[in-house]
């Protein structure tokens, strides 16, 4: 029996009662409908890079989305419109867009997982989010039992959220349409660390391929890429917590060197990594077989023999330290399954 540990980047999780690999859209919808009509619990899985599955596994049907294919039109004026199946590898898709001389996804290079999962938490990195370039999302609505096409404004994109995340499990994403700019010049570089690596000022534009290379270099150094079959992989789900967004009053009470990013509504986004480090959560800290990454404090890792329970406990310890030190709650970015 396949353990879900084999299908997730944290490499933890017990067996699924039933496991289906859906390689076609009709097959995917049929598997979902069958589970729903039998009132069987259902888990949709892409690359398993943002889930923490219980050691007991999943008491129902797990459908792994492996649908493939894309169609695209590239026009001299309006740029590229690309409709991409949910099961396509996210990073292979990003590389494909750069080969086609289309820009705007280069900062999101190296993020593991599938195209279909990208809108769920509105993936983001280096100051850019995927919601900025999504034109449409086609999804099967399990409540209405019909396919609905969401326009970008209907997707409700926000920081690490969307309608698809807010109503967990209601929508099965079938494909995503991206609108990309023609050209080989990147979006402005918004992160100082990346600008330094590129040898440019913050705000500069650079060739998209060069930006991708530098992003991959920085991500690899932090263990933030996950390459199939590579022994260099660190077993994590990327950043385990989101950056908290708090009131201006709460942010003002923090030490002056705490990074602060004022939001359009006046609230302030803080750095979860800074809060952890200054609350006494150390890189390399362990609980059982779980370990805070040596390279990136926000990544909780499975050191090899870790269980889901170990990771949950290490997360709880980190949350308790930040709460005791700063009175701030850290919220997991990772989805807990059957925990
Ligand atoms: C090393 C590493 C680095 C990372 N870096 C980043 C980063 O920089 N930025 C960032 O935003 N994220 C990052 N992540 C998190 C993760 O890669 C993204 O959230 C990614 O989009 C998850 O894709 P997945 O296919 O693996 O989804 P899964 O983990 O399989 O699923 C995640 C959620 O989406 C749901 N889901 C998946 N596919 C579908 C579908 N077709 N329809 C409906 N629901 C679906 C699942 O049910 C689950 O709730 C990182 C993870 C790792 C391991």
Contacts of 99 (CB under 8 A, 6+ apart): none
Q: Any residues with CB less than 8 A from the CB of 271 and at least 6 apart, and which?
A: 243, 258, 259
Distance 121 CA to ligand 1 centre (A): 7
Model confidence at 232, in pLDDT bands (50, 70, 90)? Answer: confident
> How far does residue 127's CA lie from ligand 1's centre (Å)?
18
Place of tokens 């949910």: 86
Rounded to the nearest 10 degrees, the angle between the axes of helix 90-99 and helix 208-221 is: 150
**Which residue's C-alpha comes closest to atom 27 of ligand 1?**
46
Residue 231's pLDDT band, with cuts at 50, 70 and 90, is confident
Q: Which of 120, 143, 165, 230 to mutate to test the pocket of ligand 1 (most atoms within 8 A of CB)?
A: 120
Is residue 227 very low, low, confident or very high in pLDDT (cuts 50, 70, 90)? confident
The 10s digit of each residue's pLDDT in 70-109 is: 999 988 777 999 999 999 999 999 999 999 999 999 999 9
* pLDDT surpassing 80 at residue 186: yes
- Whether 160 sits among the annotated catalytic residues: the reply is yes
CA distances from 311 to 153, 280, 316, 331, 336 (A): 36, 18, 9, 14, 11
Percent of the chain with pLDDT over 90: 96
Instruction: Tell me which of 5, 48, 112 to substitute to probe ligand 1's pocket, judged by most ligand atoms within 8 Å of the beta carbon.
Output: 112
Does the annotation mark 293 as catalytic? no
Q: What is the mean pLDDT of residues 197-215?
A: 97
Give the pLDDT confidence score for residue 315 in this predicted structure.
98
Nearest CA to ligand 1 atom 51: 238
Q: Is 146 a catalytic residue?
A: no
Count of Cβ atoms closer than 10 Å to residue 275 Cβ: 26
Q: pLDDT tens across 127-140, in order?
A: 999 999 999 999 99
Question: Cα–Cα distance between 36 and 169 in angstroms, integer?
Answer: 11
Q: Which residues contact 103 (CB under 8 A, 6 or more apart)?
A: 97, 180, 181, 182, 183, 184, 185, 186, 187, 208
Given this model, what pLDDT does residue 76 score? Answer: 79
pLDDT tens digits, residue range 6-53? 999 999 999 999 999 999 999 999 999 999 999 999 999 999 999 999
User: Counting atoms of ligand 1 from 1, which one is nearest the CA of 116?
Assistant: 41
When pLDDT is averaged across residues 176-183 and rounded to a whole number, the result is: 96
């Amino acid at each position: 029996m396949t353990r879900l540990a084999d299908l997730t980047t944290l490499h933890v999780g017990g067996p699924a009662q039933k496991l289906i690999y859906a390689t076609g859209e009709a097959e995917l919808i049929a598997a979902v409908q069958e589970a729903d009509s039998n009132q069987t619990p259902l888990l949709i899985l892409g690359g398993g890079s943002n889930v923490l599955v219980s050691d007991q596994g999943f008491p129902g049907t797990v459908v792994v989305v492996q649908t493939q294919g894309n169609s695209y039109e590239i026009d001299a004026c309006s740029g590229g419109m690309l409709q991409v199946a949910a099961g396509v590898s996210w990073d292979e898709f990003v590389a494909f867009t750069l080969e086609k001389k289309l820009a705007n996804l280069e900062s999101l290079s190296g993020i593991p997982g599938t195209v279909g999962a990208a809108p769920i938490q509105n993936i983001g990195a280096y100051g850019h989010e995927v919601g900025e370039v999504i034109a449409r999302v086609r999804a099967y609505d399990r409540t209405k039992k019909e396919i609905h096409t969401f326009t970008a404004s209907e997707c409700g994109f926000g920081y690490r959220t969307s309608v698809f995340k807010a109503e967990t499990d209601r929508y099965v994403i079938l494909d995503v349409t991206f609108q990309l700019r023609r050209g080989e010049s990147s979006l402005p570089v918004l992160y100082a660390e990346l600008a330094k690596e590129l040898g440019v000022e913050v705000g500069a534009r650079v060739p998209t391929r060069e930006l991708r290379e530098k992003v991959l270099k920085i991500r690899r150094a932090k263990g933030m890429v996950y390459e199939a079959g590579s022994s260099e992989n660190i077993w994590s789900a990327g950043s385990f917590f989101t950056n908290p967004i708090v009131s201006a009053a709460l942010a003002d009470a923090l030490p002056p060197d705490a990074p602060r990013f004022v939001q359009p509504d006046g609230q302030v986004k803080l750095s979860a990594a800074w809060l952890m480090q200054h609350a006494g959560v150390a890189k390399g800290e362990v609980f059982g077989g779980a370990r805070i990454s040596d390279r990136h404090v926000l990544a909780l890792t499975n050191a090899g023999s870790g269980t889901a329970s170990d990771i949950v406990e290490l997360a709880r310890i980190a949350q308790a330290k930040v709460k005791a030190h700063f009175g701030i709650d850290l919220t997991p970015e990772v989805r807990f399954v059957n925990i």
